Amino acid sequence: LTADAFFKANQPAALTYDDVSLATLYSEILPREADTATSLSESLRLPIPIISSDMDTVTESRMAIAMALNGGLGLIHYNMPPKEQVKEVARVKRHIHGLIQDPITVAPTDTISDVLAMIEERKFTFSTFPVVTADRQLAGLLSSSVVKDRYRAKTVAEVMTPRAALVTEAEERVAQDPIAAADAFFNAHIGINKMLVVNARDQLRGLVTSSDVEKITSEAKARRKPARDAQFRLVVGAAVSPHRKPDGSLDRDAILEHIGNLAAEGIDAVALSSAHAHTVSLGELVRLVRNAFPELAIIAGNVTSGAGVEFLARAGASSIKIGQGPGSICTTRIVAGVGIPQLTALHLAAQSARKLGVRLIADGGITKSGDIVKALTLADAIILGGLLAGCREAPGEIMEIGGKLYKSYRGMGSLAAMKSGSAARYGHDKADTVRKLTAEGIEALKEVSGSVDDTLATLIGGVQSGMGYLGAATLEQLRARARYVRVSPAGQKEAAPHDVVEVSTRSN
Ligand code: XMP
């Protein structure tokens, strides 16, 4: 059945991803030929329709850089001072691919014991570090061959390769084209696998490793397409905090000043996020930003009704986030008793979005690539939280518990996150110490997963398979061609591996 006929036939049941399957169709499309490009506004185009969530355990600059390099978009969260958020955005916009701009360094006075403790604590998988003085003057290189137990008592200065013995590269040469500069450098200095970049005052400005250069060159061959702006910089978005005055009204000046600072760094999209966006205050916020920044991509949400979509579209949103309570750490439906299973919510939203020409983003509840394919039959892009929170590029340290490695993942409506700043998103005031904040999310752990590169490659591979099965060369064709069937509990059981003993971990 078509989406309209299918959802009509299944009324009044509300459905989510696992309740349906897509019917296969005649195809002339090979999965690898399927084009996953999408857009979030007239000017913001993305080679892949995947966005990392504006959550404080998911997206900061490192995640946003990885997302954009893979063709997606990262939304930097706002549980940090506004100035820090502007810096995070600048880090993405100024990222020079291949150059590690903030390498981990050690001081000449540190002991090898200190270095070993740092590696253990921060779970580093490398043990070569540039040595710098307090004013970042390059003092030497600590090579992994001396970061050993037997040198514990020595200082870094005693065992490092001193500055005089190091070959370095000048910053100006690298800034032009870091990969070409690194290629030339590693060819000229066989055996050296770290290019240390210094400025005219011999301060360390970055580091390029030969393995990164090899990886980037092979990726270029694999035709990975980063998401870039017109000036060839990586794209990035940020969630903007609805700054409020003491009387609770929107602090318009503070909001516009902050977005102005983000725009000065070249921000590509702002997310105006609230758990309930079909409200007078979110409408006011969207209108305020739209009037002041006519060209800026505004991602607003979350809503789960056609009326909500219409409301935000008319206020000036470019893309609208759909989802109330489907997220893996969400408890909105349990706490508030509110929310619509995600696929039905998307269908309700899509009916209005089609009429208004506004874009939709499916936000929350995605646990596998098949869910993404289903979401994209009704939406233009999807947001991931949980599937990315275990990646090394997500904020936060890795913890070891019972021999397994984990990272923290928490809902922005969890008590801890609301206390760090996101209370406004859930209609609470973080300074409110009299009444207890009611959490609408939990604090959890995610097992450490692969890199963002690997995770996205697997997910996009799945999306392209889905497009191949439906004979869809583009996401527009996927939306037009999708035919749904309702899956019974027995059908759900049949869909996952069953009656076997699994010996390898499934990919997404
Ligand atoms: P996934 O399933 O990808 O969902 O982990 C991420 C999305 O969940 C939303 N979110 C929340 N929803 N309470 C909620 O009800 C929360 O505390 C919470 N924190 C995040 C958000 O839309 C995110 O993108």
pLDDT tens sequence for the chain (508 residues): 899 999 999 887 899 999 999 999 999 999 999 999 999 999 999 999 999 999 999 999 999 999 999 999 999 999 999 999 999 999 999 887 778 878 899 999 999 999 999 999 888 888 899 999 999 999 999 999 999 999 999 999 999 999 999 999 998 888 767 778 888 899 899 888 899 999 999 999 999 988 888 877 776 666 678 999 887 789 999 999 888 888 888 899 999 999 999 999 999 999 999 999 999 999 999 999 999 999 999 999 999 999 999 999 999 999 999 999 999 999 999 999 999 999 999 999 999 998 998 999 999 999 999 999 999 999 999 999 999 999 999 999 899 999 999 999 999 999 889 888 777 677 666 565 445 568 889 999 999 998 999 999 999 999 999 999 999 999 999 999 999 999 999 999 998 888 898 886 555 4
- Residues marked as binding for K(+)? 325, 327, 330
pLDDT at 434: 42
- Ligand 1: atom nearest CA of 417 is 17
pLDDT at 128: 92
pLDDT at 222: 64
- Ligand 1: atom nearest CA of 388 is 3
pLDDT at 508: 44
pLDDT at 191: 86
ipTM rounded to 2 decimals = 0.94
pLDDT at 389: 97
199: cis peptide before it, omega within 30°? Answer: no
Give the span between the Cα atoms of 258 and 264, in whole angstroms.
10
Question: Is 385 near ligand 1, meaning CB less than 6 Å away?
Answer: yes
* Atom 9 of ligand 1, residue of closest alpha carbon: 327
pLDDT at 430: 59
Decide if 248 contacts 432 (C-beta within 8 A): no
Residue 330 falls in the annotated catalytic set: yes
pLDDT at 316: 97
Closest CA to 319 of 258, 285, 363: 363
Both ends of the chain: CA-CA distance in Å?
A: 27
Question: Is 237 near ligand 1, meaning CB less than 6 Å away?
Answer: no
pLDDT at 429: 64
Give the span between the Cα atoms of 64 and 366, in whole angstroms.
19
Token pair 């355990």: residue:
57
Question: Is 301 near ligand 1, meaning CB less than 6 Å away?
Answer: no
Neighbours of 176 (CB within 10 A): 9
- Tokens at 236, concatenated: 């990035």
Residue 438: exposure state from Cβ atoms within 10 A (0-12, 13-18, ≥19): middle
Residue 62 falls in the annotated catalytic set: no
Burial 264-286 (b: 16+ CB within 10 A, else e): ebbbbbbbbbbbbbbeebbbebb
Ligand 1 centroid – CA 76 distance (Å): 14
**Side-chain-facing half-sphere of 139: CA atoms under 13 Å:** 19
Decide if 474 contacts 29 (C-beta within 8 A): no
Question: Is 369 near ligand 1, meaning CB less than 6 Å away?
Answer: no
* Atom 3 of ligand 1, residue of closest alpha carbon: 385
Question: Is 283 near ligand 1, meaning CB less than 6 Å away?
Answer: no
Give the span between the Cα atoms of 289 and 316, in whole angstroms.
8
Candidate of 52, 302, 329 to mutate for ligand 1, largest count of ligand atoms within 8 Å of Cβ: 329
Closest CA to 370 of 484, 224, 222: 484
Q: Which candidate in 330, 391, 392, 410 is catalytic?
A: 330
- List, in sequence order, the alpha helices (H) in 21-155: 61-69, 82-93, 112-122
pLDDT at 13: 87
